């Protein structure tokens, strides 16, 4: 473990975040906090049916209610764009489906699917109007469960959907949108070399990102067709592109102003309300505000896929994994596009295995279209893998960390999905976990300990930033990624480090789409890495200019000036004998030396450093009620370099909390008619403060060579290990292996009374 | 929707009676506002009873303890006398929702909302509490177990509302306890609730007991066989096993999003047993 | 239904407003008084983002009608700092990174302040249960709980 943070002045420190004061005083403006004069309130009518043909919609009564200014249905939108897949969010998007998800056209495909919307002078009137819209539905058979949806006789969601990725091309439509396969080596030969082979089936439930801020926007349309969108999202440029496509307007006519965002975790990488608000605003000529209720958030946004997985792993007696196979089926919701790809690619990626076969299926069901959720797809496949690995360790009487270490991917390992890893810190996380006092602490009665690891690629992508040097020696950084967890701080720290000025002298702004170059959204743990690189490059651009100006004042060559500790210095004795010139002096003289000083960067950033983590979890189980309490938790992760360790730790802790919720209680409960029965926090059950212990973190720093400070994305990995860590801990406590999430009390109790499913060793 | 906040019981009765059953009483609003927001209730009139002094008072006299129907959970939890005499009732009240909910939620609302999972009701029933009901014909009393008749249904007649709860005077070597099961540690609605009240003699033999269960039937159950199982015993393992079996046998639950039939039946027995043990420990020291 | 006139005190200042009887106090604070620091996360009492103090009691603004505020004293996040001096909890939340997105933060601060006013030496368990009605999806609560306990400890010292 390297720790070189001492050599930096700002990187690795914990300064107060630039937006902090606004956020602790209530001053910060989130999506729903915007208020414009003359603003109307919009509301959405949502399908009460899981699957229904929309025969007709009668809006006359609603439209004639006093105070109602517009009513729209699917037919008021431009025809959906062609079904072309584009890289857009963390998972690709198909704009035809996006448009149909925003507003149903001929069919409602899930309970909660938008079928009409109104804009009125007050929320109460808008709600009354919604009740007056009459929809004639022909209710169709529906399918909620992923395995049921794959059966040949399952109700079909789309009669034009043919399974992609099989040859010959099928002639019958199917709910299986896609089949994909990743394979290396000879899987059968691999299993035949193994002394133990364990095959298990797992299921995971769809879980919601659970951000506390519901989706919200205010859209104002001008007479010449421009749209001003004020909303909270994970990417103002994403909102701009998606709205432009769905409403068929030119991108240059759309300006998106990013509000502060109250959590996203991937769930705000798409649009739900904005195009509808835009259409309502265009029709009424007034700003329209739309905010989802919590019920709508659960019924119509997110979640991530539920999955059915089959994992088979073989190992020799010494613990060498010889073969690994996975069959995965992920629910995509009502439209294709589950994170099955990353699910397939991540499943076995932490391990160096010669023979691997992974087959994945993307399956549509009558549920809301899934959205990205932290490390999309990876937790679902890695849950089963990490449980099976634990079982193998148990069977072979090998310490579970030692077994992982024996098979761990290292620098130079070629991953089965393609790339060869550069410097990675998986082994370092395992070592740190093993050394941690938690791992050897004694356990009490009814307690158990589990470990599990996780992998996520991390991503780079397009980022732009500007650095402006102000005449008083301060600097303004303009970037384009909504700050969900302190990224303004880490970007400002890097800018301060590069410029050599105090962090306090930097103000950083998350700009609207007209004020900064294109930025891919905040997601995939890319911002501190990729936008960090853009900020660094922009700052370096400003430094070149600062050096040039100093050279001008000194009347020497620009390349005879170097930038050290925030001041221009002659580079070497030959350059001349000048006193160092601080940034503030050069900035103050900029009017005489050529005008404003700034630097800009627009990059396509490559070289994201993969992230690995290893978690240790202790649980205590009440054997009479099946209740599982997490009593101690330690998360170890290779973070490359923690620019602001406080917010890095926070990413780990938050990911763990979400993972524990996924493991123990969170789930969508549908009734027999396909209606969501628990669309609220009360019965969806995210962890509350009293459900969790302190979450210890260990930041391992194996720098990513593709970033000046070694940054790796850190936000995705921590949600991957908890499900398996909890399951393995329960197994340690009870001798019972639970394979279906959530491991809620009824399931735990039932597994105990059934004597568990522990396979005799 | 109209809103009225009368200052007296009579005024409130009049408003309610005139509305002919369409009005809703508002105490803490932690059930009512949720129902209105969700469109499940659309009352033309809401009668806020929090400005009526009798409904906000806690007092003690020779009959026992009087608790105003609109006293908030937080106020009750801060009342040392009630806490000392009826710890189970106070525990049950304090289990309702969060600190924020505690700032408003009342016993009257918990009872009259008539949820089978209401936490205070099994505790009040076990304690033998009665409630005072005001109405157009004056005052009447009812045992708490006789108020709710099914989910959302009560025996309250037009114009009637609950003004007060009365807890009996605490007897020596007696105590109550309440436990509930929820999947998380807070912010869930009871999957099962169990309240036990018992009296021991000097030797530790149980003289009388009341056992009540919540969330395992359409209304809170007073489990006669539960008291039979422990009265006359010193709450030894055999007696506790009998209690457990009796509690499980009394259940008539449903499968829903909060729990399965099987789970509720099994956990009801566990909680009854555990609550009895806590009550016993408390009774031994007072 | 005619709008009703309500007289209150908000953050130390007299404040009156008109509101429809079915409007919640949260609606009034956010939409009428433009005090948008109090957040709406669920409107059903489950998330605590709307935590405010009414007559010294911590409550959810979403579970109270605006008309019920007649004659009451209301404190919101906007009144927590004194002039340009942040409350120690606000400072500590910043110093210890006890917020990520910051959406839950006003509710947590109001709730934590109410706790410390009544209990200057809470245990970790007491802090966690007191704050159980405030959901945070970003932080895993660790840094929030620590910040509250650290403020309690520092306040006891001084
Ligand atoms: C987040 C959350 C968590 C909760 N957790 C719990 C929990 O853990 N356990 C639990 O039991 N409940 C829980 N509840 C439900 C609720 O808080 C309780 O039932 C509470 O006791 C209701 O009291 P109230 O004063 O707020 O009732 P209100 O909402 O004011 O009234 C409830 C009902 O009773 C009627 N009513 C009220 N007072 C009277 C009266 N004096 N006479 C006649 N009718 C009356 C009302 O008209 C209404 O129908 C929770 C609610 C929320 C929002
Ligand atoms: S908005 Fe009031 S508790 Fe969630
Ligand atoms: S910081 Fe985002 S919800 Fe708490």
Please write the tens of the pLDDT for every residue from A412-462.
999 999 999 999 999 999 999 999 999 999 999 999 999 999 999 998 999
Q: So what's the pLDDT on residue B63? A: 85
C56 at B interface, C-beta within 8 A: no
User: Which domain, by its residues, includes C105?
Assistant: 88-157
Same domain? For A452 and A465 the reply is no
Same domain? For C31 and C92 the reply is no
Residues in chain A: 761
**Nearest-CA neighbor of C127 among A40, A350, B52, B186?**
B186
Average pLDDT score over residue span A158-170: 95
Q: Spelled out in words, what is the top-level CATH class assigned to the domain B174-284?
A: alpha beta
C131 at B interface, C-beta within 8 A: yes
pLDDT at A2 over 70: no
Using the 3D structure, point to which of C79, C103, C124 is the last residue of a domain: C79
Average pLDDT score over residue span A90-104: 90
Same domain? For A417 and A469 the reply is no
Using the 3D structure, point to which of A557, A584, A605 is the last residue of a domain: A605
pLDDT at A5 over 60: no
Tell me if B74 sits within 8 A of B54, measured CB to CB.
Answer: no
DSSP label at residue B12: H
Q: Answer yes or no: is the C-beta of B97 below 6 A from any ligand 1 atom.
A: yes
* Residue of A93 and C54 predicted with greater confidence: C54
Q: Is the ipTM of this complex over 0.85?
A: yes
pLDDT at A4 over 70: no
For residue A445, give every residue at least 6 positions away whose Cβ sits within 8 Å of its Cβ, in sequence order, or none.
none
Same domain? For C61 and C93 the reply is no
Tokens of A103: 């507003």
Give chain C positions within 8 Å (CB) of A24.
86, 90, 93-94, 99, 102, 105-106, 109
Give chain B positions within 8 Å (CB) of C48.
98, 100
Determine how many CB atoms are found less than 10 A away from the CB of residue B238: 10
Q: Is residue A314 part of a domain?
A: yes
Residues in chain C: 158
CA distances A665 to A40, A232, A244, A448, C119, Å, are 39, 28, 39, 19, 31
Q: So what's the pLDDT on residue A758? A: 38
For residue A27, give every residue at least 6 positions away whose Cβ sits within 8 Å of its Cβ, in sequence order, or none.
A21, C37
Beta-sheet strands, E only, within A100-158: 107-108, 114-120, 134-139
Query: Cis omega (within 30 of 0) on the bond before A303?
Result: yes
Using the 3D structure, point to which of C79, C103, C136 is the last residue of a domain: C79
Longest pairwise C-alpha distance within chain A: 87
Tokens of C18: 């008109």
Q: So what's the pLDDT on residue A6? A: 52
The values of phi and psi at residue C11, to 5°, are 50, 45
CA distances A329 to A417, A646, A665, B60, Å, are 18, 37, 22, 64
**Nearest-CA neighbor of A243 among A257, A229, A232?**
A229
Same domain? For C70 and C26 the reply is yes
Tell me if B221 sits within 8 A of B232, measured CB to CB.
Answer: no
**Nearest-CA neighbor of A90 among A522, A605, A433, A611?**
A522
- Alpha carbons A214 and C138: distance in angstroms, whole number: 14
User: Which domain, by its residues, includes A363?
Assistant: 307-458+609-755
Tokens of C71: 């004659």
Q: So what's the pLDDT on residue A91? A: 66
Tokens of A546: 């600062």
The model's confidence at residue A757, banded by pLDDT at 50, 70 and 90, is: very low
What is the count of structural domains for chain A? Answer: 3
Using the 3D structure, point to which of A284, A300, A316 is the last residue of a domain: A300
**Measured from the CA of A263, which atom of ligand 3 is nearest?**
2
The SS3 call for residue A502 is coil
The percentage of chain A sitting over the pLDDT mark of 70, rounded to a whole number, equals: 98
Tell me if A292 sits within 8 A of A214, measured CB to CB.
Answer: yes
Cα(B38) to centroid of ligand 1, in Å?
Answer: 15
pLDDT at A358 over 70: yes
For B114, counting Cβ atoms within 10 Å of its Cβ (0-12 exposed, 13-18 middle, 19+ buried), the class is buried
Same domain? For C104 and C67 the reply is no
Q: Answer yes or no: is the C-beta of C40 below 6 A from any ligand 2 atom.
A: yes
Domains B2-50+59-168 and B174-284 share a fold: no
Same domain? For C65 and C94 the reply is no
**What are the beta bridge partners of residue A447?**
A620
DSSP label at residue A687: P
pLDDT in tens, A313-335: 999 999 999 999 999 999 999 99
pLDDT in tens, C10-51: 999 999 999 999 999 999 999 999 999 999 999 999 999 999
Give chain C positions within 8 Å (CB) of A16.
94-95
Q: So what's the pLDDT on residue A572? A: 81
HSE, CB side, 13 Å, CA atoms: give it for residue A582.
Answer: 9
pLDDT at A302 over 50: yes
How far B5 CA lies from chain C's nearest CA (Å)? 8
For residue C149, give every residue at least 6 positions away whose Cβ sits within 8 Å of its Cβ, in sequence order, or none.
C122, C124, C127
Give chain C positions within 8 Å (CB) of A647.
97, 100
- Alpha carbons C23 and B1: distance in angstroms, whole number: 10
- Chain C neighbours, 3+ Cβ pairs < 8 A: A, B
Cα(B111) to centroid of ligand 1, in Å?
Answer: 7
How far A714 CA lies from chain B's nearest CA (Å)? 28
Query: Cis omega (within 30 of 0) on the bond before B208?
Result: no
Determine how many CB atoms are found less than 10 A away from the CB of residue B224: 12
Same domain? For A380 and A246 the reply is no
Determine how many CB atoms are found less than 10 A away from the CB of residue A541: 18
Beta-sheet strands, E only, within A626-755: 627-638, 695-700
Q: So what's the pLDDT on residue A451? A: 98
Same domain? For A480 and A614 the reply is no
Same domain? For C44 and C110 the reply is no
pLDDT in tens, A536-551: 999 999 999 999 999 9
**Measured from the CA of A211, which atom of ligand 3 is nearest?**
3
Q: Answer yes or no: is the C-beta of B133 below 6 A from any ligand 1 atom.
A: no
B2-50+59-168: CATH architecture:
2-Layer Sandwich (3.30)
CATH number at residue A254: 3.90.1170.50
pLDDT at B19 over 60: yes
Clarify whether A716 is annotated catalytic. yes
Ligand approaching nearest to the C-alpha of B155: 1
Tell me if A718 sits within 8 A of A698, measured CB to CB.
Answer: no
Tell me if A356 sits within 8 A of A410, measured CB to CB.
Answer: no
Nearest CA in chain A to B263: A746
pLDDT at A287 over 50: yes
Nearest CA in chain B to A682: B188
Same domain? For C9 and C72 the reply is yes
Number of A–B residue contacts, CB under 8 Å: 53
What is the average pLDDT value for chain A, to the nearest integer? 95
Determine how many CB atoms are found less than 10 A away from the CB of residue A45: 22
**Ligand 3, atom 3: nearest CA belongs to which residue?**
C136
Average pLDDT score over residue span A215-227: 97
Tokens of A761: 């060793």
Same domain? For C67 and C100 the reply is no
B38 at C interface, C-beta within 8 A: yes
| 174-213 in chain B: CB under 8 A from chain C | 185-187
**Nearest-CA neighbor of A198 among A470, A392, A7?**
A392
- Alpha carbons A333 and A311: distance in angstroms, whole number: 23
Domain ranges of chain B: 2-50+59-168, 174-284
- Alpha carbons C112 and C114: distance in angstroms, whole number: 5
Q: Is residue A7 part of a domain?
A: no
Longest pairwise C-alpha distance within chain C: 54
Tell me if A467 sits within 8 A of A495, measured CB to CB.
Answer: yes
Same domain? For C68 and C14 the reply is yes
Average pLDDT score over residue span A727-756: 92
- Alpha carbons A79 and A290: distance in angstroms, whole number: 23
**Nearest-CA neighbor of A278 among A92, A76, A115?**
A76
DSSP label at residue B146: G
What is the count of structural domains for chain C? Answer: 2
Same domain? For A564 and A474 the reply is yes
- Alpha carbons A693 and A696: distance in angstroms, whole number: 9
Q: Is residue A401 part of a domain?
A: yes
Same domain? For C43 and C101 the reply is no
DSSP label at residue C85: B
DSSP label at residue A699: E
Q: Is residue A556 part of a domain?
A: yes
Same domain? For A250 and A134 the reply is yes
Determine how many CB atoms are found less than 10 A away from the CB of residue A35: 14
- Inter-chain CB proximity B181 and A744 less than 8 Å: no
Sign for the pseudo-dihedral over CA of C120, C123, C129, C134: positive
Same domain? For A436 and A544 the reply is no
pLDDT at A237 over 90: yes
Q: Answer yes or no: is the C-beta of C103 below 6 A from any ligand 3 atom.
A: yes
Same domain? For C14 and C74 the reply is yes
CA distances B71 to B51, B109, B127, Å, are 11, 10, 18
Same domain? For C75 and C8 the reply is yes
Determine how many CB atoms are found less than 10 A away from the CB of residue A285: 14
Using the 3D structure, point to which of A562, A585, A605 is the last residue of a domain: A605
Same domain? For A589 and A630 the reply is no
Chain centroid to CA A489: how far? 20
Q: Which of A20, A680, A692 sits opposite C140 (nearest CB)?
A: A692
pLDDT in tens, A632-673: 999 999 999 999 999 999 999 999 999 999 999 999 999 999
HSE, CB side, 13 Å, CA atoms: give it for residue A76.
Answer: 21
Same domain? For A82 and A227 the reply is yes
pLDDT at A761 over 60: no
The SS3 call for residue A333 is strand
Number of B–C residue contacts, CB under 8 Å: 89
Cα(A486) to centroid of ligand 3, in Å?
Answer: 11
CATH number at residue A584: 3.30.365.10
Q: Is residue A684 part of a domain?
A: yes
- Chain A neighbours, 3+ Cβ pairs < 8 A: B, C
- Alpha carbons B185 and B187: distance in angstroms, whole number: 7
């Amino acid at each position: 473990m390297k720790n070189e943070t001492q050599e930096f002045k700002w990187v690795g420190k914990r300064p107060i975040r630039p937006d902090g004061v606004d956020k602790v005083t209530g001053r910060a403006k989130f999506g729903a906090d915007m208020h414009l004069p003359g603003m109307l309130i919009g509301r959405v009518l949502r399908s009460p049916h899981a699957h229904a043909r929309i025969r007709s919609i009668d809006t006359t009564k609603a439209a004639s209610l006093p105070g109602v200014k517009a009513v729209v249905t699917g037919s008021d939108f431009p025809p959906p764009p062609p079904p072309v897949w584009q890289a857009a969010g963390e998972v690709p998007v198909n704009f035809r489906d996006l448009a149909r998800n925003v507003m149903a056209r001929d069919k409602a495909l899930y309970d909660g699917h938008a079928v009409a919307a109104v804009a009125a002078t007050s929320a109460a009137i808008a709600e009354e109007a919604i009740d007056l819209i009459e929809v004639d539905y022909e209710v169709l058979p529906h399918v909620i469960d992923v395995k049921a949806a794959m059966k040949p006789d399952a109700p079909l969601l789309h009669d034009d959907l043919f399974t992609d990725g099989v040859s010959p091309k099928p002639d019958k439509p199917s709910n299986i949108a896609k089949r994909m396969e990743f394979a290396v080596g000879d899987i059968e030969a691999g299993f035949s070399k193994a002394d133990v082979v364990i095959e298990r089936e797992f299921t995971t439930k769809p879980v919601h990102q659970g951000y506390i801020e519901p989706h919200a926007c205010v859209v104002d349309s001008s007479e010449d067709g421009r749209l001003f969108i004020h909303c909270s999202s994970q990417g103002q440029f994403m909102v701009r592109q998606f709205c432009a496509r769905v409403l068929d307007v030119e991108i240059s006519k759309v300006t998106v102003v990013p509000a502060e965002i109250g959590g996203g975790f991937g769930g705000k990488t798409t649009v739900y309300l904005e195009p509808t608000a835009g259409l309502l605003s265009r029709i009424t000529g007034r700003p329209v505000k739309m905010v989802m209720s919590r019920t709508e958030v659960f019924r119509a946004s997110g979640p991530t896929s539920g999955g059915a997985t089959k994992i088979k792993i073989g190992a020799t007696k010494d613990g060498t994994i010889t073969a690994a196979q996975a069959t995965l089926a992920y629910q995509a919701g009502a439209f294709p596009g589950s994170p099955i790809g990353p699910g397939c690619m991540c499943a076995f990626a932490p391990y160096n295995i010669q023979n691997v076969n992974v087959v994945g299926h993307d399956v549509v069901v009558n549920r809301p279209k899934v959205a990205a959720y932290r490390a999309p797809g990876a937790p679902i496949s890695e849950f089963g893998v990490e449980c099976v690995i634990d079982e193998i360790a148990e069977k072979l009487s090998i310490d579970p960390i030692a077994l992982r270490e024996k098979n761990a991917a290292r620098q130079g390992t070629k991953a089965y999905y393609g790339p060869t890893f550069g410097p990675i810190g998986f082994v370092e996380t395992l070592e740190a976990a093993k050394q941690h006092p938690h791992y050897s602490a004694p356990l009490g009665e009814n307690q158990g300990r589990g470990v599990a690891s996780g992998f996520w690629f991390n991503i780079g992508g397009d980022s732009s930033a500007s650095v402006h040097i102000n005449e008083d020696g301060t600097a303004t950084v303009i970037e384009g990624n909504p700050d969900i967890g302190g990224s303004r701080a880490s970007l400002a720290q890097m800018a301060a480090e590069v410029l050599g000025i105090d962090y306090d002298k930097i103000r950083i702004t998350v700009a609207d789409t007209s004020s900064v170059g294109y930025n891919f959204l905040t997601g995939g743990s890319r911002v501190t890495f990729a936008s960090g690189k853009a900020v660094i490059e922009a700052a370096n651009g400003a430094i070149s200019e600062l050096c040039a100006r100093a050279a001008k004042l000194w009347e020497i060559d620009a390349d005879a000036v170097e930038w050290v500790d925030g001041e221009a210095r002659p580079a070497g004795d030959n350059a001349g004998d000048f006193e160092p010139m601080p940034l503030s002096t050069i900035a103050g003289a900029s009017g005489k030396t050529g005008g404003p000083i700034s630097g800009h960067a627009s990059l396509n950033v490559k070289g994201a450093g993969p992230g690995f983590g290893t978690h240790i979890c202790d649980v205590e189980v009440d054997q009479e009620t099946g209740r599982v309490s997490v009593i101690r938790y330690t998360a170890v992760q290779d973070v490359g370099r923690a620019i602001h360790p406080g917010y890095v730790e926070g990413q780990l802790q938050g990911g763990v909390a979400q993972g524990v919720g996924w493991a123990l209680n969170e789930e969508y409960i549908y009734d027999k008619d396909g209606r969501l029965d628990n669309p609220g926090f009360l019965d969806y059950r995210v962890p509350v403060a009293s459900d969790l212990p302190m979450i210890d973190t260990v930041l391992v720093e194996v720098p990513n060579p593709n970033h000046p400070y070694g940054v790796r994305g850190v936000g995705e990995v921590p949600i991957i290990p908890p499900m398996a860590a909890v399951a393995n801990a329960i197994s340690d406590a009870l001798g019972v292996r639970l394979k279906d999430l959530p491991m809620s009390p009824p399931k735990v109790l039932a597994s105990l009374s059934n004597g568990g499913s522990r396979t005799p060793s | 929707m109209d809103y009225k906040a009368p200052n007296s019981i009579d005024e409130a009765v009049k408003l309610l009676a005139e509305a002919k059953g369409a009005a809703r009483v508002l105490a803490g609003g932690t059930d009512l506002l949720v129902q209105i927001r969700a469109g499940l209730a659309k009352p033309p009139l809401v009668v806020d009873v929090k400005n009526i002094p009798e409904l906000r008072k806690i007092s003690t006299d020779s009959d026992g303890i009087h608790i105003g129907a609109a006293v908030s959970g937080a106020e009750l939890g801060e009342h040392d006398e009630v806490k000392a005499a009826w710890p189970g009732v106070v525990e049950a009240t304090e289990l309702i929702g969060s600190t924020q909910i505690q700032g408003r939620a009342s016993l009257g609302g918990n009872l009259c909302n008539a949820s089978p999972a209401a936490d205070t009701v099994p505790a009040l029933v076990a304690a033998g509490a009665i409630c005072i009901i005001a109405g157009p014909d004056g005052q009447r009393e009812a045992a708490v177990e006789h108020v709710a008749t099914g989910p959302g249904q009560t025996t309250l007649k037009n114009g009637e509302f609950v003004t007060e709860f009365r807890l009996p005077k605490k007897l020596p070597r007696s105590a109550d306890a309440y436990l509930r099961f929820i999947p998380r540690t807070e912010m869930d609605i009871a999957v099962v609730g169990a309240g036990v009240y018992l009296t021991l003699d000097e030797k530790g033999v149980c003289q009388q007991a009341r056992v009540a269960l919540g969330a395992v039937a359409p209304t809170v159950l007073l489990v006669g066989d539960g008291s039979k199982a422990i009265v006359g015993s010193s709450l030894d393992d055999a007696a506790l096993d009998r209690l457990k079996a009796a509690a499980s046998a009394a259940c008539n639950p449903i499968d829903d999003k909060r729990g399965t039939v099987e789970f509720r039946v099994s956990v009801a027995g566990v909680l009854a047993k555990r609550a009895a043990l806590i009550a016993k420990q408390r009774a031994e020291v007072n | 239904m005619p709008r009703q006139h309500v007289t209150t005190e908000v953050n130390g200042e007299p404040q009156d407003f008109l509101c429809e009887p079915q409007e919640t106090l949260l609606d009034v604070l956010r939409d009428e008084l433009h005090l948008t620091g109090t957040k709406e996360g669920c409107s059903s009492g489950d998330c605590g983002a709307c935590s405010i103090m009414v007559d010294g009691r911590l409550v959810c603004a979403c579970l109270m009608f605006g008309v019920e505020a007649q004659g009451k004293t209301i404190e919101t996040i906007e009144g927590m700092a004194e002039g340009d001096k942040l409350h120690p909890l606000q400072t500590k939340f910043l110093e210890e990174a006890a917020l990520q997105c910051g959406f839950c933060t006003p509710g947590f601060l109001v709730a934590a302040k109410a706790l410390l006013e009544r209990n200057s030496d809470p245990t970790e368990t007491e802090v966690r249960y007191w704050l159980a009605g405030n959901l945070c999806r970003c932080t895993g609560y660790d840094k929030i709980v620590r910040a509250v306990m650290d403020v309690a400890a520092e306040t006891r010292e001084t």
